[in-house]
Amino acid sequence: QVQLVESGGGLVQAGGSLRLSCAASRSISSINTMGWYRQAPGKQRELVAKITSGGTTSYADSVKGRFTISRDVAKNTVYLQMISLGPEDTARYYCNANLMFPGLGAVDNWGQGTQVTVSS
């Protein structure tokens, strides 16, 4: 298992930028996949971006070209750089670590989330 702590959320005007950080309690180099999800009020949690242990990234169509996921293995931290933010990006953002356990399969670990609010 791994504990995840998000930071970097806040209130920003439309068109602005934020960088979210997710600090993990252990090495992330062997974690199957780490990702960022978000959940807006009244909506389901959705995948925003993810990065595999091999460094492959993928994004939701709605954030392609605006958000960038990256990681610093030495710091056990995953980042989400967000630019050109719009009100539609307002949500609570959660860090996720998907770990593989022999015999158990994939197990998800979640942080507490960080709120991002974009004003128009």
Over residues 12-28, mean pLDDT: 97
Rg (CA), the chain: 14
User: What percentage of the chain reaches a pLDDT higher than 70?
Assistant: 100
Q: How far is CA 118 from CA 12, 22, 41, 115, in A?
A: 5, 20, 14, 10
Q: Which residues of 57-86 are buried (b: 16+ CB within 10 A; e: fewer)?
A: eebeeebeeebebebeeeebbbbbebeebe
Predicted local confidence at residue 105, as pLDDT: 87
pLDDT tens digit sequence for 70-94: 999 999 999 999 999 999 999 999 9
